[in-house]
A and B are shown apart, each in its own frame.
Chain A
Amino acid sequence: MRFGRQTGLGACLSLADAAWLCLKDRGEPKLMSATSAIEVHELSKHFGAIEAVSPISFDVPEGEIFGFLGPNGAGKTTTIKMLCTLLAPTSGSARLAGFDIVKQPDDVRRAIGVIFQDPSLDDRLTALENLTLHAVVYGVPRAERKARLEEALGFVELEDRKNDIVRTFSGGMKRRLEIGRGLVHRPRILFLDEPTTGLDPQTRKKTWEVLRALRERYGLTLFLTTHYMDEAENCDRIAIIDHGKIVAEGSPETLKRRVSKDIVQVRTAETDALVAFLQNKYAIEPVFADGGLSFQVEHGDAFIVELVSSATVKLESISVRRPTLDDVFLALTGRQIRDESAHGSRDAMRAMARRR
């Protein structure tokens, strides 16, 4: 499923901007404000010799929807696991709702709700039994329990299925039930690891309606991870993470404002010759993407007319478009966000097709 290109926001960060962001991150001392829901300071995780998360730092103010965006294996889930006290960090510290994740894990656990990437319901129990167990485990007072469960079920619109065994639920219903369950103990911070992965478009839309309504109604802080660019656009602020490092951080609006150039994509059989031509004539440093060359220019429409007439290399195809968050990622890392997962096989197929 590709959504990135079709939807509203297009944003672009040049490499220079990225460098500026990195410098800014290092140069300014982190201010730990009293209203921060999440404060992360130089948090890192090693698995043996592998550095899954390099020391990262960020703050999330209360009531914000904060997105962690990056490809699979970038360190998103590892970071969530550390923040949720499931995994001990190698170094650094983090405070959630004011509690230290290493020194006060029980307080942290009471203050947060977690919705995992994979389902974590007991599918042999009914919806209500799952919620009841959750309420008991989190110490929701008996007198309030019934009202809270009704409220949670109502919120995710599952009242009429509450006595059904969870195994009979669809994927979207299970996800909604998990979100409902995460609310039962009134957490101050809700973690969502890839909340809409594997859901169909309507269910994804519905899930986002639920998440936004949550913030409206309870002032919850939401921390979510995603590898969908368009999903990141629902966030107040995004941190882009790659190879365990935060490579950019800012609101989608800030990123939007950086949009200044168009993206040109060119395909040719003589790639090296075209690279040299672009470097010499226009001082453009193209990057390899999607089986072709990609670069940014102002007034893309005019540029491609000029390029087509002046090019000394035979061009197979050329296209121009407004930038998207995909391009932000590409500009920052030199790769496309789904290079290592779904695109790997497609590239291999293209390579085979070319050989024939």
Chain B
Amino acid sequence: MRAEVIYYLCRRDIVKFLRDRQNLLASLTRPLLWILAVGFGLRASVASNTHGVDFVSFLIPGVATMSVLFSSMFSAISIVWDREFGFLKELLVSPVPRFSIVLAKMIAASITSLLEVSVVLLAAPLFGAHFHPLGALVALLVLVPFGMAINALGIIVASRMKTFEGFGGIVNFVLQPMFFFSGALYPIENLPRALGIVVRLNPMSYSVDLTRGLLIGVYHFPIALDIGVIVTSALLLGATATWSFSKMQA
């Protein structure tokens, strides 16, 4: 495994992401819509229950994590794309270890999703949100392994998919529950018992919790548990993704 190979493979994905202007614009404005619609739409009705924090400020970490979730997951479709357009064969006959290819995908997905997060964090003060600037920088670092884990999950799905449509369907089926049962949109104290259990089983909840803790100082789980869950899922999913990708036939 050579670092330069990973760097160039990452660069390829990022260059293509930046070259696709329409997609770039859409992915950068989507999270802002969430803040506007959900943040201001629900602020009045849930103001009392968010740890004394303004609801928009409470929501920012959730939207940031959501951006990473969606963006990293959909980045994995580039594998289906590469197979459809033949480029995957070029990589598979090359002497590059399969693991390097998967790792490069994961890193690139994570980096492009951080672009979205940066837009959210930079725009947040304009919406009247308050958070620790230093905490926000640390949160960016924390979201890297989370983005990698989610992209690995996407690769596992993508490497079994024959069509773009199939990928979209399955991915939405996975994404929606992960997002809605993660505490990204609401506090996870005093939830109905069953919902509480689902939230605890969802790895995304820990990423939301850590990001929220770093930004506004409100934690629900111990920090060590948050970090542990994120790193463990990145490692497990990364390994599974490599295995799944190696089974894939160009």
**Interface residue ranges, A against B (CB under 8 Å):** 84-87, 106, 109-110, 112, 114, 116, 118-125, 129, 132-134, 136-139, 181
List 27 A-B pairs, Cβ < 8 Å. A84-B93, A86-B92, A86-B249, A109-B94, A116-B89, A118-B86, A120-B88, A120-B90, A121-B87, A122-B16, A122-B82, A122-B85, A122-B87, A122-B90, A123-B85, A124-B20, A125-B15, A129-B15, A133-B8, A133-B12, A134-B90, A136-B4, A137-B5, A137-B94, A137-B96, A138-B95, A139-B2
Chain A residues with Cβ below 8 Å from B16 are: 122, 124-125
The docked-state distance in angstroms from the alpha carbon of A176 to that of B86 is 16
Indicate whether B19 reaches chain A with its CB closer than 8 angstroms: yes
Asked, given contacts A136-B4, A139-B2, whether A122 binds B93 with beta carbons under 8 Å apart, the answer is no
The docked-state distance in angstroms from the alpha carbon of A129 to that of B85 is 17
Hey, what's the 0/1 contact readout for B1-34 against A, CB within 8 Å counting as 1? 0101100110010011001100000000000000
Indicate whether B142 reaches chain A with its CB closer than 8 angstroms: no
Contact: A138 with B89, CB < 8 Å? Answer: no
Contact: B250 with A129, CB < 8 Å? Answer: no
Contact: B15 with A112, CB < 8 Å? Answer: no
Chain A residues with Cβ below 8 Å from B15 are: 125, 129
Give 9 A-B pairs besides A122-B87, A138-B94 with Cβ atoms closer than 8 angstroms.
Answer: A86-B89, A86-B93, A120-B90, A122-B12, A129-B12, A133-B8, A133-B12, A137-B91, A138-B95
Q: Report the minimal beta-carbon distance from A143 to chain B, rounded to whole angstroms.
A: 13
Q: Report the minimal beta-carbon distance from A138 to chain B, rounded to whole angstroms.
A: 6
Closest to B7 in A: A136
**Interface residue ranges, B against A (CB under 8 Å):** 2, 4-5, 8-9, 12, 15-16, 19-20, 82, 85-96, 249-250
Chain B residues with Cβ below 8 Å from A109 are: 93-95
Chain B residues with Cβ below 8 Å from A121 are: 86-87, 90
Closest to B12 in A: A133
Chain B residues with Cβ below 8 Å from A122 are: 12, 16, 82, 85, 87, 90
Q: Which of A84, A85, A137 has the most CB of B within 10 A?
A: A137
The docked-state distance in angstroms from the alpha carbon of A134 to that of B93 is 11
Q: Report the minimal beta-carbon distance from B58 to chain A, rounded to whole angstroms.
A: 39
The docked-state distance in angstroms from the alpha carbon of A152 to that of B118 is 41
Contact: A86 with B4, CB < 8 Å? Answer: no
A-B contact count (CB 8 A): 66
The docked-state distance in angstroms from the alpha carbon of A133 to that of B82 is 14
Q: Report the minimal beta-carbon distance from A264 to chain B, rounded to whole angstroms.
A: 45
Contact: A119 with B95, CB < 8 Å? Answer: no
What are the 3 tightest A-B residue pairs by CB atom distance, in nearest-first order? A120-B86, A109-B95, A120-B90
The docked-state distance in angstroms from the alpha carbon of A114 to that of B86 is 12
Asked, given contacts A86-B92, A106-B95, A109-B95, whether A125 binds B12 with beta carbons under 8 Å apart, the answer is yes
Asked, given contacts A86-B250, A125-B12, whether A139 binds B95 with beta carbons under 8 Å apart, the answer is yes
Contact: A120 with B87, CB < 8 Å? Answer: yes
Contact: B8 with A137, CB < 8 Å? Answer: yes
Contact: A119 with B86, CB < 8 Å? Answer: yes
The docked-state distance in angstroms from the alpha carbon of A72 to that of B92 is 24
Chain B residues with Cβ below 8 Å from A106 are: 95
Chain A residues with Cβ below 8 Å from B8 are: 132-133, 136-137
Closest to A108 in B: B95
Chain B residues with Cβ below 8 Å from A124 are: 16, 19-20
Closest to B82 in A: A122
The docked-state distance in angstroms from the alpha carbon of A170 to that of B98 is 31
Chain B residues with Cβ below 8 Å from A86 are: 89, 92-93, 249-250
The docked-state distance in angstroms from the alpha carbon of A122 to that of B4 is 19
Partner of B93, one of A112, A119, A132, A139: A112
The docked-state distance in angstroms from the alpha carbon of A119 to that of B82 is 11
The docked-state distance in angstroms from the alpha carbon of A9 to that of B89 is 35
The docked-state distance in angstroms from the alpha carbon of A70 to that of B15 is 41
Chain B residues with Cβ below 8 Å from A112 are: 93
The docked-state distance in angstroms from the alpha carbon of A136 to that of B85 is 21
Closest to A110 in B: B95
Chain B residues with Cβ below 8 Å from A129 are: 12, 15
Chain B residues with Cβ below 8 Å from A133 are: 8-9, 12
Q: Report the minimal beta-carbon distance from B99 to chain A, rounded to whole angstroms.
A: 13
The docked-state distance in angstroms from the alpha carbon of A181 to that of B88 is 15
The docked-state distance in angstroms from the alpha carbon of A138 to that of B9 is 12
Chain A residues with Cβ below 8 Å from B92 are: 86
Q: Report the minimal beta-carbon distance from B105 to chain A, rounded to whole angstroms.
A: 14
Chain A residues with Cβ below 8 Å from B85 are: 119, 122-123
Q: Report the minimal beta-carbon distance from B78 to chain A, rounded to whole angstroms.
A: 10
Chain B residues with Cβ below 8 Å from A138 are: 94-95
Q: Report the minimal beta-carbon distance from A250 to chain B, rounded to whole angstroms.
A: 29
The docked-state distance in angstroms from the alpha carbon of A134 to that of B8 is 10
Q: Which of A106, A118, A122 has the most CB of B within 10 A?
A: A122
Chain B residues with Cβ below 8 Å from A181 are: 90
Q: Report the minimal beta-carbon distance from B81 to chain A, rounded to whole angstroms.
A: 9
Chain A residues with Cβ below 8 Å from B250 are: 86
The docked-state distance in angstroms from the alpha carbon of A121 to that of B89 is 9
Chain B residues with Cβ below 8 Å from A137 are: 5, 8-9, 91, 94-96
Closest to A109 in B: B95
Q: Which of B5, B19, B86, B88 has the most CB of A within 10 A?
A: B86
Chain A residues with Cβ below 8 Å from B20 are: 124
The docked-state distance in angstroms from the alpha carbon of A22 to that of B89 is 35
The docked-state distance in angstroms from the alpha carbon of A140 to that of B35 is 48
Closest to A120 in B: B86
Q: Report the minimal beta-carbon distance from A238 to chain B, rounded to whole angstroms.
A: 24
